Amino acid sequence: LFAGPVDFLLSAPELHHLPPADRIEVCFAGRSNVGKSSLINALTGRKSIARASNTPGRTQALNFFSMGDRLRLVDLPGYGYAEAPVKLVEQWQATLKGYLAGRPTLRRVFLLIDGRHGAKKVDHEIMELLDRSAVPFQAVLTKADKPAAGTIEKVAEALKTDLARHPAAYPEILTTSSQKHEGLERVRAAVAGLLEL
């Protein structure tokens, strides 16, 4: 699946721009700057099919990528702080939440959490939104190359306890570094597994 072609499909600033719900979709959600776009690039082996940058609020619409004819990957705008005009941020936050809570073909949300800091209040709000909509999500700790030794294990332990309270959460936590290309195979396998159901 990941060895095949990946093509940018479209960018949806609002819900009426979404493509027809005729493919399985998986999306990458998380706070601004957590590494969503970078993870899509690392997973697909494409340097910058998704645009990444150090500025929080880089991704400002829902970006759809086709993988073959059965699956789409979706790069979401971040939630939380963003360096962009308030009106624009409000619009993309509404689109993001509408998509997360109401997309019939959305099979799994990869919820990215910074491996140095763990889950914050906004992450818990999104987890609750997903619980209410019964949308399955799986936590991914990002930037595993950054934290000091032992930090990520502690973060994972605390997160495991949090996830146990969320009915829509998968118990298994994935850990990745897009920079060092670590942990990518398990994410790829989780995505590929959805096509076999």
Please give the residue ranges that form the binding site for ligand GTP (CB under 6 A). Answer: 30, 32-38, 52-54, 56-59, 77-78, 142-143, 145-146, 177-179
CB of 49 to ligand GTP, least distance (A): 12
CB of 144 to Mg ion, least distance (A): 18
> Nearest to residue 112, comparing CAs of 59, 34, 184?
34
d(CA 177, CA 169): 21
Q: Phi and psi dihedrals of 75, rounded to 5?
A: -95, 120
100 contacts 129 by C-beta, under 8 angstroms: yes
CB of 152 to Mg ion, least distance (A): 22
CB of 23 to ligand GTP, least distance (A): 22
What SS3 state is found at 121?
Answer: helix
| Cβ within 8 Å of residue 87, ≥6 positions away | none
| Cβ within 8 Å of residue 26, ≥6 positions away | 71, 72, 73, 74, 106, 107, 108, 109, 110, 191, 194
118 contacts 127 by C-beta, under 8 angstroms: no
- Residue 36 or 108: which CB sits closer to Mg ion? 36
Q: Phi and psi dihedrals of 138, rounded to 5?
A: -130, 130
- Residue 68 or 122: which CB sits closer to ligand GTP? 122
Only one of the segments 56-64, 96-104, 107-115, 187-195 lies at the binding site for Mg ion (rule: CB under 5 A); that segment is: 56-64
Residue nearest to ligand GTP (CB): 78
Residue 183's binding partner out of Mg ion, ligand GTP, none, with CB under 5 to 8 Å set by partner kind: none
Residue 179's binding partner out of Mg ion, ligand GTP, none, with CB under 5 to 8 Å set by partner kind: ligand GTP
- Residue 56 or 136: which CB sits closer to ligand GTP? 56
Amino acid at 29: A
- Residue 37 or 175: which CB sits closer to Mg ion? 37
Only one of the segments 5-13, 31-39, 114-122, 134-142 lies at the binding site for Mg ion (rule: CB under 5 A); that segment is: 31-39
Q: Which residues bind Mg ion (CB under 5 A)?
A: 36-37, 58-59
